[in-house]
């Protein structure tokens, strides 16, 4: 499987039965396809939809609803749609158990930058979305991203260099190489991907990793 699928599969393992979960653009929304058997989660999207599923077969979609990534959806029994003000009140009120978000950078303190790429002096693109509200409103924040950029430079840093979306908000970082937990005492390496060694992870990670005992492989 490719890196994005591996990350999405591992991220889905964080779903717990009954969780209300918000999924960000990109890799996070793919996690909905890998929800563990026997686990029921309630998906929420910041554009104003609760308890839905993403539709992959043409003709099964509801023409009036989509998730925040503009993917076709179907509202499930007991689900609802509502205005965006209500949606953000729901998020800010602490009713989202977990959010999975992508990132441009994340660091060992749990800081995350996921909204701004510099395109000119003092100018950034693409702009802010709902991530800032989710980062401070969700009870658990899971960051998913590829471990390095196209030039092989680490995205798991000692300190973020891009404008932050939120400070010290991330709980768990999942890449195609490893799972890392942000704690007050450091960034702990919790799992490595199948076939990947601890030394390989450390070689491409700028952040200081805490490694204690044997590190298990991801269960996918």
Task: Give the active site residues.
Answer: 46
- Whole-number Cα distances in Å, 96 to 23, 36, 116, 192: 11, 19, 24, 28
> Which residue, 102, 108, 104, is CA-closest to 206?
108
Distances (CA, A) of 169 to 13, 31, 105, 108, 152: 20, 21, 13, 11, 25
Residue 22, Cα to own-chain centre: how many angstroms? 9
Q: Which two tokens stand for residue 107?
A: 């660091």
Per-residue buried b or exposed e for 98-109, using 16+ beta carbons within 10 Å of the residue's own CB = bbbbbbbbbbbb
The length of the chain is 220
């Amino acid at each position: 499987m490719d890196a994005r699928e591996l990350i999405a599969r591992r991220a889905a393992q964080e779903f717990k039965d009954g969780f209300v979960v918000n999924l960000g653009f990109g890799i996070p929304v793919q996690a909905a396809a890998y929800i563990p058997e026997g686990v029921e989660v309630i998906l929420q999207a910041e554009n104003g939809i609760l308890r839905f599923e993403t539709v992959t077969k043409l003709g099964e979609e509801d023409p009036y609803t989509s998730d925040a990534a503009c993917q076709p959806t179907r509202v499930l029994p007991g689900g609802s749609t509502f205005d965006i003000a209500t949606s953000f009140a729901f998020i800010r009120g602490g009713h989202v158990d977990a959010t999975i978000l992508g990132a441009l950078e994340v660091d060992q303190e749990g800081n995350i930058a996921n909204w701004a790429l510099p395109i000119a002096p003092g100018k950034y693109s693409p702009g802010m979305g709902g991530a800032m509200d989710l980062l401070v409103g969700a009870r658990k924040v899971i960051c998913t991203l590829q471990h390095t950029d196209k030039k092989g430079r680490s995205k798991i840093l000692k300190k973020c260099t891009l404008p932050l979306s939120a400070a010290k908000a991330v709980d768990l970082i999942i890449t195609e190489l490893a799972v890392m937990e942000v704690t007050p005492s450091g960034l702990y390496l919790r799992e490595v991907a199948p076939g990947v060694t601890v030394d390989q992870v450390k070689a491409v990670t700028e952040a200081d990793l805490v490694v204690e005992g044997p590190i298990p492989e991801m269960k996918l």
